[in-house]
Structure 1
């Protein structure tokens, strides 16, 4: 027992020594690692006199900053206290960026002697903690731009940062928790030109809160909880953003003093009435979209309304409201209007018939309304370039309504129920009014619209597309998609030989393309996807198609000559979801593999092979796979031919034997 114990003890010592020898280097490395300093971060990058020190886990500026540095970027670090030591005792900064730190203390009068400091960014810190001490940071001697956004500040806290800032011009207090703007909030910053209070919880603005700011030109009060503006009188203000509030009434003070306001955003509020604007105004941009407007001329008396002129207005957005009409009289003073958006309302009729109305308008958006009537008079809308009418289910229009728009370039007519008039003229002549009686009621002419380049007619339940439908109209893009059963005349695209670049015919249930595309010399992009095509038309080498979409059809074989004609110009081809035959399209597959044609959906391009139960991706198809199939097929044919020969030979032998017996019987008789 004793001997055994000694042996075991010896073995234990040996094993302990061995383990210690193995663990010792690991222990040493751990001790060294714990004693070593943290990982070395790259030093600040200094470019000329600008020092970039962001994202370096710093608690202050490096002590080795060059003398005379003008810009210091200490953003996204670990700065908690802002003192002279934090800034390495530098006072000559022009710009100081300290956003996204953890600053909760600022040394009083720190910026007093920084007479060159113009830009100070303290956003995304914890300045609400400092404000609780109720100690002013002191004089901001030369600071012109101050960012205090996202600091958890609430009502009254900003006073400790703005109390003595005589040069301050730009101020951001966005993303805080301010509920009230008091009369003296900005009393220490009388030079302010631009204030952002975006994304607070402002419920109240005391009278006179901004009136002492005679230089104020831009004010952002968006995304707050303001319920009404009843006495707007900031005459020098040029930009006012009140979007995303709860405003039910906007009313300006009526005064002979002219207002300089150029930009007014009242979108996403709760106004049932059009804003009551100052009579003497210079307004150029007005957005009242996404409110509850039911009518335009409902704010103020008729006499008061007549005094409000909008001669300078260039942009007017009244979309996403509940408007049922837009009286022509409303447009009489909009002599400078360039963009009118009244989409997504309940408008059932739109007319511009009085001569001279909207002379400069370039864009009118009437999409997604309930339009049943659309009327344009002569000599109106002479500058109109884009007209949005999609989503209205229009069925009846004046035959030549679009010929009255001399500058129209873009016409959006998707999701309506229009019919295209039949132009039965051999020559491309202007449409005669007495021919209109021969056309179906409500049809529209698209011929001789002299400047129309882009026409969208998808989802119109079009049944026929007559010959010369677009004669004398220089279309570059024609979208006829989503018109199931569309019957296109062979010459329906005649007249577009030198202009048409984009042709869209997707989802039309077309089984055969009867329209002649070979004469369209400028055609570059064709979309024939999601139809019933079993073959493609014969195209020649004069064709210059660059993009062709044939997805989701019933193509089994692609004519090699057709694809060869496209090879010199084709750059992009979509071919997925077609029942292609592998061995009947070897020429096409070789063309694709050796050319520079890009097939974005190549992962879904498959073909059917008789030797495989599942479709084969064209990337995996080889010529040998079809040769084997061809050889076995050839053998089968040879065997069948031999069997046929043997059967015929047997029949001939029997026939000869039968005739011989007949001759023998005749001789015996």
Structure 2
């Protein structure tokens, strides 16, 4: 019985299965998609009763071992054949010769190494344009039995095999190839001329192999080359004036001590040299020799005309992260007129300067994080297109106070894990003045107001001691992270100017015992993190709240003010309250909010309260108002009893005093 599914136009594969149909029969061929799905059916042979006219046949994830004429040769209309994840170890030679419409053949994850051991060729694949032979245990020389006669092939995948060498004649029968993927093999050697005959080759993936050097790269037609995750120590292009079409080059995760020697004339847009052993961005000679060379150039050449050994005029993305680079000279980046992303994070850079407005004019993202920065300088009118700046993890202490005010397009600034102080404005003008005498111009602090586009500011772990008033005036922040600054003193007006912009406020782990800032003035504030502080009370909300998420974990909160909870619950969607010494019966409104409103408490399992003094904490979900009413009744009874006892004691005392004088008078009348 045939259990394959036939798909037709207008009816999805899942819909066919859900209706329990094993076949879909229609009278008109124009209505039929002719796609047959026999995947995941535990088949051990190709179904013998497949209908004629099939265009796509999916036999993946079965247990097929042999492909023969008897089962497939009659289906000459097939253009897409998927045999992925079977156990195929025999293909009858010439099986695909008459399949003149077959464009896509997927044979990945089979046992084709067994077939190749017999030194039998698969035969002609004249119509096949895309062939997938990945994960078949194939090693050097075995591909010859599959690629000998495939003149139309443009896409070839040999991923996940055991190929150690690319021979000169490996692709002689597939000269139309445009894309070759050899990812995750064991390639140690590429013979000279192995790819030279492939005039149409534009994409080549050699990632995750064991290649140690490329010393004569000459594939000028190639547009995309991935050599990541090899053991490359050298990448060098032949000395040529020929224009290379290469757009994408990935050399990441190798062992290169020097910068690659790229084509003199190129169109390169993407270059990744991250996770290598680069100590500098020089490609030849010592640092001192290159420094002397640059000095000669600088002495005799106008700055805007300085070019280096290589042309980077088309480069848009450059990643040099996770190396050992100590400096990025301006002579290296001056030709990068189109560069938008520069990542030099996780290096040993001590200084970074951009002092000329012609340099990095189009740069949008600059990542200098986790270096050893001591000096950072951006000249006036430089980096005018910069939107994201990453400086975290540098322990910066001293920079020009107006460094960030000079970046009009800056949208996101990451400054966590530094030692910067915030300057105190002496006067706040409507526009940024040209002179600095309005301000406390101290080189040990930096200004964060009047940065016109800044929306995201991260200042955690900066050892901040004071957050001054008006610190962010005229800066339209949406997110402000001041976490992990223990002992931070927050001025009541420190967030002035953020009333209509701030959405996220993070103040966790600051040892704050009392927050005097009026958060209700921040009309757009939605997410507040006050966790791991020493708060005993919440700030009073004087206006309607817009807060949707509030984190109060790990504080010293005993009672939440009734009016504050009343205001918050109108907008609140999520609240974190775990690890607080809450009183059960002093937070009736909070109990009501948690138990009966739509507010979600993700850490509800850790939210406990104390029912009576010195008792064990109980989960807040188990507390009821009746319990507290009963407790109140007991307390009232005890109080009434005590009061009555006190009244009786007072009355008895008064009666005792009244009776004592009468006894004295009675005794005196009978004296002798």
Report the TM-score, using the length of structure 2 for normalisation.
0.91
Report the CA distance shift for 1:229/1:607 in structure 2 as closer, same or farther (over 3 A). same
User: Deviation of residue 668 (structure 1)?
Assistant: 8.7
* Alignment correspondent of 1:22: none
* Alignment correspondent of 1:292: 277
Question: What per-residue deviation string (whole Å, max 9, x for no partner) do you get for residues 494-536 of structure 1?
Answer: 0100010110111111110011212111111111111111111
* Alignment correspondent of 1:220: 205
Report the CA distance shift for 1:86/1:493 in structure 2 as closer, same or farther (over 3 A). same
Report the CA distance shift for 1:192/1:432 in structure 2 as closer, same or farther (over 3 A). closer
Contact preservation (8 Å) 2:426, 2:438: no
| Comparing 584-593 and 315-324, the one that deviates more | 584-593
* Alignment correspondent of 1:112: 97
Contact preservation (8 Å) 1:529, 1:551: yes
* Alignment correspondent of 1:178: 163
Question: What per-residue deviation string (whole Å, max 9, x for no partner) do you get for residues 102-159 of structure 1?
Answer: 1111111111111100000011111111111111111101000000011111100000
Matches within 5 A, 1:323-342: 323-342=325-344
Question: What per-residue deviation string (whole Å, max 9, x for no partner) do you get for residues 221-250 of structure 1?
Answer: 001110100000000000000000000010
Q: Secondary structure at the match of 2:156?
A: strand
- Moved beyond 6 Å, runs of 4+: 662-669
User: Quick one: which of 147, 172, 175 aligns to 1:190?
Assistant: 175
User: Deviation of residue 650 (structure 1)?
Assistant: 2.3
Q: Secondary structure at the match of 1:293?
A: coil
Report the CA distance shift for 1:220/1:418 in structure 2 as closer, same or farther (over 3 A). same
User: Deviation of residue 589 (structure 1)?
Assistant: 0.6
Question: What per-residue deviation string (whole Å, max 9, x for no partner) do you get for residues 388-447 of structure 1?
Answer: 001111111111100010100000001111100111337666367444774554101001
Q: RMSD over aligned Cα, in angstroms?
A: 2.0
Matches within 5 A, 1:538-577: 538-577=540-579
Report the CA distance shift for 1:639/1:112 in structure 2 as closer, same or farther (over 3 A). same
Matches within 5 A, 1:455-604: 455-604=457-606
User: Deviation of residue 43 (structure 1)?
Assistant: 3.3
* Alignment correspondent of 2:301: none
* Alignment correspondent of 2:35: 50
The answer to whether the aligner puts 1:204 opposite 2:189 as a matched pair is: yes
Contact preservation (8 Å) 1:251, 1:276: yes
CA distance in 2: counterparts of 1:279 and 1:81, whole angstroms: 52
User: Deviation of residue 460 (structure 1)?
Assistant: 0.6
User: Deviation of residue 277 (structure 1)?
Assistant: 0.6
5+ residue gaps, structure 2: 9-32, 298-306
CA distance in 1: counterparts of 2:432 and 2:627, whole angstroms: 60
The answer to whether the aligner puts 1:75 opposite 2:77 as a matched pair is: no
CA distance in 2: counterparts of 1:44 and 1:542, whole angstroms: 59
Q: Secondary structure at the match of 1:411?
A: strand
The answer to whether the aligner puts 1:154 opposite 2:139 as a matched pair is: yes
CA distance in 1: counterparts of 2:664 and 2:335, whole angstroms: 115
User: Deviation of residue 658 (structure 1)?
Assistant: 4.0
| Comparing 568-577 and 340-349, the one that deviates more | 568-577
User: Deviation of residue 379 (structure 1)?
Assistant: 1.2
User: Quick one: which of 115, 125, 135 aligns to 2:120?
Assistant: 135
Q: Aligned pairs, how many? A: 630
User: Deviation of residue 311 (structure 1)?
Assistant: 0.3
* Alignment correspondent of 1:13: none
Contact preservation (8 Å) 1:113, 1:141: no
* Alignment correspondent of 2:23: none
* Alignment correspondent of 1:95: 80
Matches within 5 A, 1:233-632: 233-299=218-284, 306-425=308-427, 430=432, 433-435=435-437, 438=440, 440-610=442-612, 613-632=615-634
Question: What per-residue deviation string (whole Å, max 9, x for no partner) do you get for residues 554-591 of structure 1?
Answer: 11111111111112211111111111111111122112
User: Deviation of residue 216 (structure 1)?
Assistant: 0.2
User: Deviation of residue 656 (structure 1)?
Assistant: 2.3
CA distance in 2: counterparts of 1:373 and 1:516, whole angstroms: 37
Report the TM-score, using the length of structure 1 for normalisation.
0.91
Q: Greater Rg, structure 1 or structure 2? A: 1
5+ residue gaps, structure 1: 1-39
Q: Secondary structure at the match of 1:85?
A: helix
CA distance in 2: counterparts of 1:499 and 1:534, whole angstroms: 28
Contact preservation (8 Å) 2:422, 2:467: yes
CA distance in 2: counterparts of 1:591 and 1:56, whole angstroms: 53
Question: What per-residue deviation string (whole Å, max 9, x for no partner) do you get for residues 259-298 of structure 1?
Answer: 0000000000000000001100000000000000001124
Contact preservation (8 Å) 1:428, 1:471: no
Contact preservation (8 Å) 1:51, 1:71: yes
